[in-house]
Amino acid sequence: YLDGNSGKVEYYHNFIFAATALQLTGDKGEYQDLITWEQLSDAARNALIEKDWGTTLFDLIGAKMPLKDQNFNKTLKAAFPF
């Protein structure tokens, strides 16, 4: 799951939960720079905010797409254990 100092992840569709997610992988791939939200162009941020990610089982428990500005801080606070 490591390539030198880089962790390797892949985007995949989980058919059990009818959702998409990231998981560790041993597959060979390309190096992608890690960037911050603010480094994205306005068009890229808006595309992620406005994207309809579809209905998943998580919608039934009130989970919201965390990249939407109005959800991010609430989601981050809920995930912080302290």
**SS3 helix, strand, coil % of the chain, rounded to 5?**
35, 20, 45
**Predicted confidence (pLDDT) at residue 47 exceeds the cutoff of 80:** yes
Per the prediction, the chain carries an average pLDDT of 79
Assigned domain for 7 exists: no
Give residue 51's identity as a one-letter amino acid code: K
Q: Which two tokens stand for residue 57?
A: 């089982």
Residues of the domain holding 44 = 36-82
Assigned domain for 26 exists: no
Q: What is the mean pLDDT of residues 40-56?
A: 82
When divided into structural domains, the chain yields a total of 1
**Predicted confidence (pLDDT) at residue 63 exceeds the cutoff of 90:** no
Distance, in Å, from the CA atom of 46 to the CA atom of 49, rounded to the nearest integer, reads 5
User: Bridge-partner residues for 6, per DSSP?
Assistant: 3
Assigned domain for 12 exists: no
| pLDDT, position 43 | 96
Q: What is the mean pLDDT of residues 38-47?
A: 92
Distance, in Å, from the CA atom of 72 to the CA atom of 48, rounded to the nearest integer, reads 12
pLDDT tens, position by position, 5-33: 888 888 888 777 767 778 899 998 888 88
Decide: pTM greater than 0.75: no
In degrees, to the nearest 5, what angle opens at C-alpha 51 toward C-alphas 74 and 69? 25
